[in-house]
């Protein structure tokens, strides 16, 4: 399972060191695409195929569903890690996620989220928000 938070830098060529802990779970190749919150998503090939299978179940005649599929599949790029454990983030994806220098990688169970550090800090949940959200979600009542 992919988990943990890792702070790294992306170089001027768009190469990002992915920690061994995450690389071992992702495998030799990965898929990278636009995320949902101004970030990027990185999947192992196996998890990517599961994700695509779910996208294929969306109704093709629905405009919103097509836009969602286009968002993910249209931006998807396959890659592999170099000998230093770096992933190359294509320029179009770097621009979408505003990746310039300081990066945060979050292991999120079946994928890795790649964030610009400043944006990630803005998105970080506060203690007050955590309590508000957890109180409003009855299904989490016995979760903690």
Where do the structural domains in the chain lie, given as residue ranges?
Answer: 2-117
- What share of the chain in percent tops pLDDT 70? 95
**Per-residue pLDDT reduced to its tens digit, 85-114:** 999 999 999 999 999 999 999 999 999 999
Q: Which residues contact 7 (CB under 8 A, 6 or more apart)?
A: 102, 103, 104, 105, 117
Question: What pTM did the predictor assign?
Answer: 0.89
What are the strands, taking DSSP E only, across the chain? Answer: 2-9, 15-17, 29-34, 40-44, 77-80, 86-88, 102-109, 112-116
CATH superfamily of 2-117: Transcriptional regulator MraZ domain (3.40.1550.20)
Confidence of residue 75 (pLDDT cuts 50, 70, 90): very high
């Amino acid at each position: 399972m992919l988990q943990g938070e890792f702070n790294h830098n992306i170089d001027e060529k768009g190469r990002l060191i992915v920690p061994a802990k995450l690389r071992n779970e992702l495998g030799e190749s990965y898929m990278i695409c636009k995320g949902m919150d101004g970030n990027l998503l990185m999947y192992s090939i196996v998890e990517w195929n599961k994700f695509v299978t779910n996208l294929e179940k969306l109704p093709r005649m629905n405009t919103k569903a097509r836009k969602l599929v286009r968002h993910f599949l249209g931006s998807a790029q396959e890659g592999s890690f170099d000998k230093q454990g770096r992933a190359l983030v294509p320029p179009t994806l770097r621009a979408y996620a505003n990746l310039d220098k300081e990066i945060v990688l979050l292991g999120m169970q079946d994928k890795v989220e790649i964030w610009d550090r400043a944006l990630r800090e803005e998105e970080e949940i506060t203690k007050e928000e955590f309590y508000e959200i957890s109180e409003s979600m009855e299904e989490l009542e016995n979760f903690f």
